[in-house]
A and B are shown apart, each in its own frame.
Chain A
Amino acid sequence: MISLAGRDILHAWGKFVFTGIGLGLLIGVTLVMAGVYRGMVDDGKALLDNSGADLWVVQKDTLGPYAESSSLNDDVYRAILAMPGVSQAANATYLTMQVRKGESDVRTMVVGIAPGALGATPGWPPYLVAGRQITRGHYEAVADIATGFKLGDRLAIRRNHYTVVGLTRRMVSSSGDPMVFIPLKDAQEAQFLKDNDAIWQSRRRTEANPVFNRPGDPGLLDAVIASQSSNAFVNAVLVTLKPGHAPDEVAESIQRWKRLTVYTRAQMEDILVGKLIATSAKQIGMFLVILAIVSAAIVAFIIYSLTMDKIREIAVLKLIGTRSRTIAAMIMQQALALGVIGFVVGKITATFSAPAFPKYVLLTPMDSVAGFFAVLVICVLASLVAIRMALKVDPAEAIGG
C-alpha cells in the first residue's frame, strides 16, 4: 500500500514544514500559557513545600498568613508545642516588600525564620544552591536567586543591613515574588517597626499626653515609649507533627483549646490555589480556549487550502477507483502530520522560551501529553471540513465537458 499523504508531504515538504513551524509557534504559545497556569499553582505549592510545615496556626478566623494578614503573639508557639502530636512549632513572619540593594530594589517576600535546631525547624529554606544557612541571630539573609542577589551582597531592609550568606532556588511567594529569609527578630522589627520620623512623632505625642508625662514620675514616660515600640507579634506558627498523628486531629485540638485557626496542608493548598489564583486561572483558561480555537482554525484553513490545490487530482483518483476512505485518510494523515510537526516545534519553543519569562513557567509532561492529544483532536476536527469537500468532488469532473 502506498501512503498518498506521505508522498504529498514529501512533494511539498517545504510548504508543509514551514506551515508546521508556524503552527508550532502557536502551539508553543498555548503550551507556555498552560505552563504559566501550572507555574502559578506550583508557586503556591512551592510556598507550602518550602515552609516545611504540616499545620499553619494563624489568627482566629483569618485565611492567613499568605492570603490574608494574620497576627499572633509570639509566645503562642510555646502553648502549641505542649499540644499532643506536635513535634516542632516555630514562629514565622511573611511580609512582601521592596528590598534595596544599592540603588536598585527588588520586590520580595521577606520571611522571618525562628531560630532553632538545624534542619528540624519549619520555615527554614529546605535546600540551598549556594552559601550556607543563617547562623547568626541577626543581620544575615538567605535570598532566592530570582532576586538577582549574590553571596556577600548587602541588602537593606528597613533601616538594617543584611549580608546574603546563602542562595535558594524556587523559594517564592504565591504571587511569585522571590523570598528573602532573615532571622525572626529582625523580621518582626522590619514588619512592625516604623520609620524613624514616625517613631519621633509618636514619642512627641506620648510626651504631650499629660497622663504619661507626669512631673512627679520621671520614669513613666520612658516605660510607655519602650512599650510602644516593642513588637511581640508574628504572622503564623508553623507546626510539624510527630509521626502517627493525623493533621486533622491535631488541628482540631489546637483550634478547640487554643482558640486559633489552624490549616492543614490540604486546606492551605485549597486557599492558595482555589482562592488566591482562581481568577487568574480562569483568565488563562479563556486564553487556552481562544488559542485552541485559533489553532483549529489555522489547521482547518491550511488543510482546506492544501486540499483545494489537489481537487483535480482527487477527482482523478476517484475516477480511477480510489476509495473515499483512502482519500479521507490522506487528508487526515496530512492534518495529523501537520499537528505532529507543530507539536514538536511548539514543545521545543515552549521549553526554550520558558526560562525567559519573568514568572515561573512550569511545563509538565502530562500537560505535554494532553496537549499532544488535543492537537491531534483539533487536527482531526479541522480536517473534517476538507475531507467533506474532497468527498463531494464528483469523479465526473475529471472527464470534463
Chain B
Amino acid sequence: MKKLPLQGRTLALLAVIIPLLVLFIYVGLRSGPLAPVAVTVASVESRAITPALFGIGTVEARYTYKIGPTFAGRVKRLEVHVGDQVKAGQVLGEMEPVDLDARVRSQESVFKRAEAALREAEARQAYAQTQARRYEQLFAVRLTSEEIVTTKRQELQIADAALSAAREDIARARSDREVLLAQRSNLRLIAPVDGVVTVRDADPGTTIVAGQAVVEVIDPKSLWINVRFDQISASGLAGGLPAHIVLRSRGGQTLKGRVLRVEPKADAVTEETLAKVTFDNKPEPLPPVGELAEVTVDLPALPAAPLIPNAAVQREGDKVGVWQIVDGDLHFSPVKLGTSDLNGYVQVREGLKNGDQVVTYSEKALTARSRIHVVEHIPGVSR
C-alpha cells in the first residue's frame, strides 16, 4: 500500500507551497500596520548639563568716527584711503579755504590801522596831559583863568577816552583775526584716535554740506558683535558670560569672547534679544565690519538632574511627555521639562526618575497600542 507516486508529487508540491505560505504569513505579520514598530530606548540618567545659548550677529565697531568739515565747502585734498591705518592727530585731508586767506589779510590790515589809531590817541593824550599840567601851574600863581584850566582838564579826559577806545579796537581786530585763523585750521580733517579708515565718501573737489562725513574711521580694538538671540531661548543671558564666536568666513575656527552687555531694549518685531559680545583677543586679520558670526554663550553648569534626549519628547493630545517602557509595555508619561542644552539633552523636572527606560527613536509614530521591538538602531538609518 505504498503511495509512492502521489507521495513524491505531494512532497514536491509541499516544497513549493509551504515556503510560500511561510513567506506569506511572515509578510502579513512583519510588514504593514501589523508589524511591530522598531524603537530605540535610552535610560534616564542624572548628569550635569551646561546649557548654552545660540545666536547670530554681525561684526560691528563700537566706536565709529565720522570725520567731516563743520561748514559747507569743497574738499581740497584727501590723503587717506579705505583700509589705511591712521594715528591720532594725523591730518587726513583738507578743505578748500576759498576766501579765507584774503579775509585774514584784510583783518591784519584792520589790525594795523587800529595800531596807528592807537599811536595817534596816545600822542593826543600826551599833549593833552602836558597842557593840562602847565595850566594847573599857571593857575596856581593866578596867571590864567579858571575857565581855561577846566577846558584843558576836559581835553585831557577826552584824550584818555580816545586812547582806551583805540586800545579796544586793537583787541577786537586781533580777535577777529584769530577767529579767521581758527577757521582756517579747521579746514584740516584730523584723526581723533588711532584707527582704520573704513569709508571714504568724497573725493577732492566734492562739495560737502556741513556735518556730512568725508571719511569714517573705526577703532579696531573696539570691534564687537551685535548678537541676536531668540527671546524664547535667551533666558540666563547676562553680561560677563563666556562665548564662542565662529565667523562665517572662518568656518572651522572658534574664537573666544565674552558677553559685554545685554541690551536693555529688545527687538519687538523680530522677537529677539540683543547683546554685545566682545573678542577676548583681537582677531587677526580683522574681520570685516558686517560679517556674520555665530555665537554660542555658555551658561553656568547646572547641578546634576535626570536627563533625556530631546528626541524622546513627544506630544500626545495636549500633554508633553515621553513614551516609557514599563515591563515591556509602552505607556505615555507626561513630564515637566527643565533646561536643555545645545547637544539635545533636556532636564526632566517631574514625571521620570533615574533608570527609567524611555523611547528615543521610533520607526513611526507610537500609540499606546503599538507593538514594539527594541533595536540598537532604527533600520534604514545609515551610519
Contact = CB atoms under 8 A, between A and B. Distances in A.
A and B touch in the complex (CB under 8 A): yes
Contacts of B24: 344, 347-348
Nearest to B230: A137
Contacts of A166: 311, 344
Contacts of B383: 150
A126 B294 contact: no
Contacts of B54: 135-138
Interface stretch (B28-36, B90-98, B162-170): B28-36
B230 A240 contact: no
Nearest to A148: B382
A243 B10 CA distance: 62
B20 A348 contact: yes
Given A119-B313, A127-B365, A137-B230, A150 B382 contact: yes
Contacts of B310: 118, 132-133, 135
A240 B318 contact: yes
A135 B381 contact: no
Interface residues of B, number: 59
A10 interface: yes
A131 B233 contact: no
Contacts, number: 143
A204 interface: no
Main SS at interface, chain B: mixed
B13 interface: yes
Contacts of A368: 28
A242 B318 CA distance: 7
A374 interface: no
Contacts of B13: 10, 13, 17
A138 B362 contact: no
Nearest to A150: B382
B318 A169 contact: no
Given A132-B343, A135-B342, A115 B365 contact: no
Contacts of A128: 311, 360-361
Interface residues of A, number: 55
Given A17-B16, A49-B365, A365-B33, A87 B229 contact: no
Interface string B334-369: 000100111110100000000000001111111000
Given A126-B315, A135-B340, 11 more contacts: A115-B230, A118-B340, A118-B346, A119-B314, A130-B361, A133-B344, A150-B382, A167-B381, A348-B20, A348-B23, A365-B34
27 contacts: A13-B12, A13-B16, A115-B232, A115-B233, A119-B314, A119-B321, A119-B337, A127-B365, A130-B381, A131-B311, A132-B310, A132-B343, A132-B344, A133-B310, A137-B229, A138-B294, A139-B294, A145-B381, A165-B344, A169-B378, A170-B364, A240-B318, A242-B318, A341-B20, A351-B27, A352-B27, A364-B33
What are the 3 tightest A-B residue pairs by CB atom distance, in nearest-first order? A132-B344, A119-B313, A136-B54
Interface of B: 6, 9-10, 12-13, 16-17, 20-21, 23-24, 27-28, 31-34, 54-56, 209, 212, 229-230, 232-233, 269-270, 294, 309-311, 313-315, 317-318, 320-321, 337, 340-344, 346, 360-366, 377-378, 380-383
